[in-house]
Amino acid sequence: MEAFDLFCTLLRGITDIYGIGGGLLEYRASLLAGHGFATLALAYYSFEDLPKKFDTIDLDYFEEALCYMLQHTQIKGPGIGLLGISLGADICLSMASFLKNVSATVTINGSGFNGNKAMYYKENCIPPLGHDLRRVKVAFSGLLDIVDIRNDIVGGCENPCMIPIEKAQGPILFIVGQDDHNWRSEFCAQIASERLQAHGKEKPQIISYPGTGHYIEPPYFPMCPASLHKLLDKPVMWGGEPRAHSKAQVDAWKKILTFFTKHLGPSPKL
């Protein structure tokens, strides 16, 4: 009987999107499923029949995934949640801004800007902000520090390369590491907050963790201080101090679960 009840229970839906590394990562989605969320870990390049590289970001693909979730017989509507990290966070912000039926969005160390590839949805296009590799620094360890390579944000929160998050449906939670060396996530979250308020929206929730780097993973996952950057094909540093970063991962996971439970609904009683 319990198995039958589980099969018939409508679950809250979340789409989980990772960053520039591509491929399919399912461990975070599996952990969310253990908390009563029907979670789709969504690959968007470098997996099976998907393109090995991407030259543009087309939101039509992500809209198809959103529709799939909403039409699933075990998904409780009317909307779903979005969870993304790094580039995946910015894709989630774009989905929330352009697509319907998004109830809540969590971004982990996103930027709020379209980075290196043009982003399209129907007749809309967000141009890339771009970067300047001459700003790359070499740390004492020999690792590259890319935190300042992005082009200057001319115009602040009204820069044309910024995602129009004032159009987003549902609340947004920004989780940022103060020692993020991929880009300055805390600064970007503040600009996103300024944009929302400038357009008459409420100030979003920003949770900022000192001593915390770029890859804020689920609790007890090992910290990733450096790795090979997929686009640069060179080892780069991601930042973070081990103790502070590990504590942030534990706390951030609790905050994510609380946020989705609040805005998507409580876990079904099985």
> Per-domain residue ranges for the chain?
2-130+162-223+240-264
Q: Tell me whether residue 30 is one of the annotated catalytic residues.
A: no
User: What contacts 88, CB < 8 A, 6 or more positions away?
Assistant: 17, 18, 19, 110
Residue 86 falls in the annotated catalytic set: yes
Catalytic one among 86, 111, 193, 246? 86
* CA-closest candidate to residue 88, choices 28, 16, 27: 16
Q: pLDDT in tens for each of the 270 residues of the chain?
A: 343 344 457 899 999 999 989 999 999 999 999 999 999 999 999 999 999 988 889 999 999 999 999 999 989 888 999 999 999 999 999 999 999 999 999 999 999 999 888 999 999 999 999 999 999 999 988 999 999 999 999 898 999 999 999 999 899 999 999 999 999 999 999 999 999 999 999 999 999 999 999 999 999 999 999 999 988 889 999 999 999 999 999 999 999 999 999 999 876 655
C-alpha 73/C-alpha 135 separation (Å) is: 50
Candidate list 97, 179, 180, 246, residue with the active-site label: 180
97: enclosing H helix or E strand? helix 87-98
In sequence order, the 6+-apart residues with CB closer than 8 A to the CB of 95 are: 15, 59, 62, 63, 66, 82, 102, 105
Which residues, listed in sequence order, are joined to residue 237 by a DSSP beta bridge?
226
The structure's pTM equals 0.94
CATH number of 2-130+162-223+240-264: 3.40.50.1820
Q: Which of 145, 185, 193, 214 is catalytic?
A: 214
Q: Is 180 a catalytic residue?
A: yes
